[in-house]
Structures are given as structure tokens and as C-alpha cells.
Amino acid sequence: MPQLNTSTWFITIISMIITLFIMFQLKISNYYYYMNPGPLTTKTQTHTTPWETKWTKIYLPLLLPPH
């Protein structure tokens, strides 16, 4: 009965691991990773409503000075 030749197993396993590492690196390098989130400058929007041009004031009972 012939014996199993294991002399080439080391180089086969090492080359397989290197090949898998390279393939995973190439696969991962195709993804686009976003930069770290930073604060954004937002513009304030002005809404034009008909009552902005008029002088209006609301008096709440709790805000009135005591008599």
C-alpha cells in the first residue's frame, strides 16, 4: 500500500492562505468608505408669511405684570 506524500502540503496551504488574503483585500478595496462625519453648516431658511410684515404681539396671562 503506497504512503501518502505530504511533502507538498506546506507550500500548498501557504499559497492558498496568501491567495485568499489577496482576494479578500481586492474585494474589500472595491468598497467606498465614507469619511468621519463632521459638523455641517446649515443655512437658515426664511419663510415669508403674511403676518411677518405686520406688528403682532401675543400677551399671555402669566407674562403680564402683577397689579
- pLDDT on residue 50: 61
Our CA dihedral for 22, 28, 29, 35, rounded to 10 degrees, sits at -150
Query: Could you list the pLDDT tens digit for every one of the 67 residues in the chain?
Result: 678 888 889 999 999 999 999 999 999 888 887 777 778 777 777 766 665 555 556 655 665 566 6
pTM: 0.44
Looking at residue 52, what is its pLDDT? 56
Which uninterrupted H or E stretch holds 15?
helix 9-29
